Chains A and B, each alone.
Chain A
Amino acid sequence: MSPIKLGVIGLGYIGQIHLRHIKRILNAQVVAAADLSKKALTKARNNGVENTYSNYEQLLENPEIDAVIIALPTHLHLECALRAAEAKKHIFLEKPIARNVKEAKEIVSAAYKNSVKLMVGYPLRFNTEFRELKQRISKGEFGDVEIAYATYISSGPFFHRAEGYAPVPVPEWWFNKELTGGGVLIDLGSHIINLLRWYFGEITDIRAQLGYRFNMDVEDSAMCLARFQNGTRAAVNVGWFSQQYQLKVDLLGSVKHATLSHVPSNPISTVIQMLTSGTSRFYFPHKSELQYFVDCLIRELNPEPSGQDGLKDLETITKAYENQIHLE
């Protein structure tokens, strides 16, 4: 079987992670990368990527490439995804699928018209513990889940300037609402909304209370209340305001409760894991989602989370922005 040949478009933070993982997954080969940064392209070449481009359109013209991983800033998703679909490349697109519902619909439609597969990157769906939780919910182990609490708090784009670590520059587009489409609700909230929709089905009502601790154009915290079609209610808290990372889901069911966290390893464990397996436990779900994407292409299956999923998430988040609760 010949491997799926992949091109990575965008070699920022998440693009670099994908590039590192592709080299370690089965039946895949990274043959090209595109980025505006010469430094990033040089690094990619040094890591064995044969073809590097400063313009992704040139990458899309490469007939060798079967599929692309789009890891660009959100405002560039639409154009790049449309071009990739027209070039008949299957697409793995980082979340959020787009800045708004209109753009997301265009992307989904382009993938459908051009018969290319479209998957949106939600690594939580590939975290072993979170997958097991899905099975336990489906089996009815918790009874009816009456209430779910989901929290995703971190420093977001403002990376922790931990002692001993160099500060990390924040790309300018993060400060521009026009380019991001929103703040933490669209950034981290999309992970949680997608996860909870996977667990409980569609959201019928959602309201949000937004916080602006850092006086930005976009919210840096959001508290949401949501009701699902199956009757479950959820409280979702997301924020960019903390130096401490927390990703946690609590399920309160009529039979049983569950608590699940996704915690980064300490730096020493991370180094050991990186040296031994090429990824850390924390980023293992990112590797798994790429393996799954490649497997779907080989077996000609439609990958999930699909573009339609990404669109639904964005529709839900848009509703939350529209239904704001204002506290005095």
Chain B
Amino acid sequence: MRVSKNSINSMRQAISEALSLIDYSFNDNIKSVVIKPNLCYYWDYSTGQTTDPRFVAALIDLIRKKISPEPNISIVESDASAMKCAHVFRMLGYEKLSNDYDVELVNLSKDKSETIATTAGDLRVNVSLPQTIAKADLKLNVTKIKYTMEPIKITCALKNIFGCNPYPRKFRYHPKLEETIVAINKIMRFDLNIIDGNIVSGIQPRRIGLVMASTDPVAIDAAASEIAGVNPRTIRYLQIAKEEGLGKTSFIPKGVPIGYFKSVYPRKTINKKLMSKAYSLVTRIGLSRKIGLG
């Protein structure tokens, strides 16, 4: 769906229409809701890199209208190598949202968690499942579409849930990042994935007004990849996720034709792709450190 105006009302309407298109209805017995936005770094919604707090506000309005005003709603994120929740909640407007909408902000890195052993592809890994996520009746993944480093290529629904991993030094997973993303998604299965694509980052931020929803995180990621001009078949973690039963890479688009969003998404140019590969190579061979860039 498209957000027609840059306002909470317009966002609420677009989310509502997107949920209608996929015939999604909220269960009446929900007591606790977890919302996982993408708050990767200290950049606000205008960059297209982080979930707009107004989009989350619109979703909270909708939950309270469709379910009841009662459910406890928690917005969750975890500390990362370069980002601390305490600062990001405040800097990106989530502290204000918490006060205005009476919702809780939870730093999953400080939440109690239990360790669960799982596998993904050839990886055997222990995943920490935070209590707030484990106990939630409804888990909502409110993500962005972004280009990211090779070989991941695209950050969307599955990668956003990687951010629920409470361990802050996430770079330690990078050698097996694709399998780890899938493993964490196997342990933390979210009920609904919604893309806040009102502003997308691409090679530059652009307001395209996209709202997309699906209960299948693999399908929504495949659709998002196509919009961003990346062949989903070249994204290895989507294939692993499919093999592990997290969803399908095929999808049936509904609503505004996907071709429209493909045409307006700020896609990578050949120059940018080459630069990205060159930087990746420079980093891999350690040249960046030698010349003082790393």
Contact = CB atoms under 8 A, between A and B. Distances in A.
Interface of A: 16-17, 20, 158, 161, 163-170, 172, 175, 213-216, 243, 267-268, 270-271, 274-275
B82 A167 contact: yes
A164 B43 contact: no
A274 B96 contact: no
B272 A158 contact: no
B26 interface: no
Given A163-B203, A216-B90, A158 B149 contact: no
Contacts, number: 69
A267 B279 contact: yes
Nearest to B279: A164
Contact of B40 (A161, A170, A215): A161
Contacts of B95: 215
A215 B147 contact: no
B81 A169 contact: yes
B17 interface: no
A284 to B, nearest CB: 14
Given A166-B82, A167-B83, A170-B42, A268 B293 contact: no
B215 interface: no
A155 to B, nearest CB: 8
16 contacts: A17-B292, A163-B201, A164-B276, A164-B279, A166-B82, A166-B149, A167-B40, A167-B82, A169-B82, A172-B84, A214-B42, A214-B91, A268-B275, A271-B291, A271-B293, A274-B292
Interface of B: 40-44, 47, 49, 80-84, 87, 90-93, 95-96, 147-149, 171, 201, 203, 272, 275-276, 278-280, 282, 287, 291-293
Given A270-B293, A275-B291, A167 B279 contact: no
B278 A268 contact: yes
Contact of B47 (A168, A175, A243): A243
Nearest to B146: A163
A271 B272 contact: no
A165 B279 contact: yes
Given A216-B91, A274-B291, A161 B43 contact: yes
A227 to B, nearest CB: 34
Given A164-B279, A167-B81, A167-B82, 10 more contacts: A17-B292, A161-B40, A163-B147, A164-B275, A166-B149, A170-B42, A214-B44, A215-B90, A270-B293, A274-B293
Nearest to A16: B292
A216 B292 CA distance: 31
Given A170-B82, A271-B291, A215 B276 contact: no
A215 B40 CA distance: 17
A175 B148 CA distance: 27
A170 B87 CA distance: 10
Which of B91, B148, B149: most chain A CB closer than 10 A?
B91
Contact of B43 (A158, A165, A268, A271): A158
Contacts of A271: 282, 287, 291, 293
Which of A175, A214, A270: most chain B CB closer than 10 A?
A214
Contacts of A163: 147-148, 201, 203, 272, 276
B202 to A, nearest CB: 9
Nearest to A162: B279
Contacts of B278: 268
B280 A164 contact: yes
Contacts of A161: 40-41, 43, 49, 82
A218 to B, nearest CB: 12
A20 B93 CA distance: 39
